[in-house]
Amino acid sequence: MTSTDYATYIAGLPKVLVGAACVFRDSAGRVLLVEPNYREGWTLPGGTVESADGESPRQGARRESLEEIGLDIAPGRLLVVDWARGTGRPPIVAYVYDGGVLDEERLGAIRLQESELLSWKLVEPAEIDDHLQGARAHRVRAALRALETGTGAVELEDGLPVG
């Protein structure tokens, strides 16, 4: 196979987005959510992995957390991988990592990326469904269960457990 054939082959492969986020909590167990200005609703700090730059999902979660909330925290263990089909966009493989527990000092150091975010807040786990929709809510609940039980990463499809 020539390099031209290989490039044509690669160009013809299906496209899939990769996203990465962290679940940050406070000492009371509340979850940090951010409110984007480019779509309705709330989400975890995170975003699209820069795969063209060779960035891994873990690196993307760290970079996005730094960009969005101004905290440079190395992600902990992988909690969730979710294959989410999209309407109007390619499917996305979403990685969710443990961001750890933020103390008062770290919470006070949060600085929002004003070009993308309107606000942030801490939400009780029981209120996740009031702030997140669909697969995002399922993802966060699965991540919190994995943290609570100490189990390995959970595999989801469209937010629902596989198998």
Give CA–CA dist 134/73, Å, rounded: 27
pLDDT in tens, 9-33: 878 877 889 999 999 999 999 999 9
What mean pLDDT, rounded, does the chain reach?
94
Q: Is the pLDDT of residue 163 over 80?
A: no
What is the structure's pLDDT at 1? 61
Give CA–CA dist 63/50, Å, rounded: 10
Which structural domains are found in the chain, ordered by start? Answer: 17-161 (3.90.79.10)
